Amino acid sequence: MDLENGIPSDEIESLCMECKEQGVTKFMYTKIPMFKDIILSSFYCEHCGYKNTEVQFSGKLGPQGIKYEYTITDEASLNRSIVKSEYATIRIPELDFEIPPQTQKGSINTVEGFLARSIMGISELQEDRRRYNPEIAAKLDEFIAKL
């Protein structure tokens, strides 16, 4: 394992959850300055093209959490990269919006990317909501537009 240079140190065959064929998972061990040691895993299935990436934290969790605040000042600010663990919450008080722990866990994305994934998640069942609960669907459509 070459933690200092972030060189992929492990590659294993893994079952693809989409097509049930064998794919490959690659692991890279690295350190984010002023943050933590992490393990990046990347899965790819050559049979169906399915891809998945995840971030896991190696080492111990601290006795207390850490709070980071970031203010969006312009459109370029949306391109800031964020590492979100399975324990982290992303809050946007101006939108009364929260991405809780266990949601979008173990990922690296931009602010805009986290918002886009949230929009996709909320939108997923909108057609069913429009059919069975149009009031809720209308409110969610407004919220999606706000996001």
- Based on the fold, state whether residues 73 and 54 are members of the same structural domain: no
Beta strands in the chain (DSSP E): 8-15, 22-31, 37-44, 51-57, 81-84, 90-92, 97-99, 107-110
CATH number at residue 107: 2.60.120.1040
Count of structural domains, the chain:
2
pLDDT score for 28:
85
Amino acid found at 34: M
- Based on the fold, state whether residues 56 and 66 are members of the same structural domain: no
- Based on the fold, state whether residues 38 and 49 are members of the same structural domain: yes
Instruction: Indicate the residue among 39, 60, 81 that finishes a domain.
Output: 60
pTM of the model: 0.67
- Region class of 59: left (phi > 0), else alpha (psi between -120 and 50), else beta: left
Reported as a single tens digit per residue, the pLDDT across 53-109 is: 888 777 666 777 788 899 999 999 999 988 887 888 999 998 899 999 888 777 788
Q: Is the pLDDT of residue 22 over 60?
A: yes
pLDDT score for 7:
58
Instruction: Indicate the residue among 35, 60, 85 that finishes a domain.
Output: 60
Instruction: Indicate the residue among 13, 32, 60 that finishes a domain.
Output: 60
- Based on the fold, state whether residues 32 and 56 are members of the same structural domain: yes
pLDDT score for 8:
54
- CA 47 to CA 56: how far, in whole Å? 26
CATH number at residue 9: 2.20.25.420
- Based on the fold, state whether residues 7 and 72 are members of the same structural domain: no
- Based on the fold, state whether residues 65 and 54 are members of the same structural domain: no
- Based on the fold, state whether residues 1 and 70 are members of the same structural domain: no
- Based on the fold, state whether residues 108 and 136 are members of the same structural domain: yes
State the residue range of the domain holding 78.
61-147
Long-range interactions of 87-90: CB distance < 8 A, separation 24+: 87/61, 90/114
